[in-house]
Amino acid sequence: MIPYYIFFGFLFLISFYDLIKADIRFSKRIEDLIYLVLWCALVFFIGFRYKMANDWYNYEGMIRNIEPLNRVVMGDAPFFHSIKGVEFGFMLLCSFINLFFDSSVAALQALTAIVSIFCYSILIGVTRKETIISHKFIFLSVFISLTMFREFDVLRQSIALYMFLISIKYFNNSFLKYSFLNILGSFFHISALIFIPSYFVFKIKFGRLFILFLLVMYMLSMVIHFSFITEITDRLSNYFPELIFVQKLYKTAMMGEPSGSVSIVGLLYVVFLVLLFFNYRKIAFDNYKIRLFINVFLVFILINILFSDAKEIADRFSYYFYIGLAFVFVYVIQFIRKDIVIPYIVLIMGFPALRFSRVMVNPETASVNIPYRNYFFVTPDDDINILINWKAKNEN
Give the pLDDT band (50/70/90) at residue 367: confident
User: Residues 323, 329: contact at Cβ < 8 Å?
Assistant: no
For the chain, what is the domain count? 1
3-state secondary structure of 224: coil
User: Residues 139, 132: contact at Cβ < 8 Å?
Assistant: no
User: Backbone dihedral region of 85: left (phi > 0), alpha (psi from -120 to 50 degrees) or beta?
Assistant: left
> Which of residues 255 and 127 earns the better pLDDT score?
127
Sequence-ordered list of residues with C-beta below 8 angstroms from that of 41, at least 6 positions apart, any chain: 7, 10
The rounded percent of the chain whose pLDDT value lies above 70 is 89
What's the pLDDT score for residue 22?
Answer: 61
CA distance 22 to 18: 8
> What's phi and psi for 374, nearest 5 deg?
-115, 145
Residue 164: inside a domain: yes
Give the pLDDT band (50/70/90) at residue 208: very high
Average pLDDT over residues 354-381: 83
HSE-up of residue 157 (Cα within 13 Å, Cβ side): 18
What's the pLDDT score for residue 254?
Answer: 52
CA distance 210 to 173: 27
Residue 254: inside a domain: no
What's the pLDDT score for residue 239?
Answer: 59
Q: What is the mean pLDDT of the chain?
A: 86
CA distance 179 to 187: 13
User: Residues 21, 30: contact at Cβ < 8 Å?
Assistant: yes
Residue 251: inside a domain: no
What's the pLDDT score for residue 279?
Answer: 94
Question: In which element (H, E) is residue 205 found?
Answer: none
Residue 236: inside a domain: no
Residue 238: inside a domain: no
Sequence-ordered list of residues with C-beta below 8 angstroms from that of 325, at least 6 positions apart, any chain: 142, 146, 269, 272, 296, 297, 300
Residues written for the chain? 396
Residue 252: inside a domain: no
> Which of residues 149 and 252 earns the better pLDDT score?
149
Q: Which of 15-29, 129-143, 153-167 has the lowest mean pLDDT?
A: 15-29
What's the pLDDT score for residue 19?
Answer: 77
CA distance 372 to 370: 5
What's the pLDDT score for residue 305?
Answer: 87
Question: Could you tell me the residue range of the domain that residue 114 belongs to?
Answer: 2-225+260-391
pLDDT digits (tens, 9 = 90+) for 307-361: 877 777 778 888 999 999 999 999 988 888 777 777 777 777 777 777 777 777 7
> Which of residues 41 and 105 earns the better pLDDT score?
41
> Which of residues 175 and 20 earns the better pLDDT score?
175
Give the pLDDT band (50/70/90) at residue 160: very high
Residue 108: inside a domain: yes
What's the pLDDT score for residue 182?
Answer: 96
Residue 241: inside a domain: no
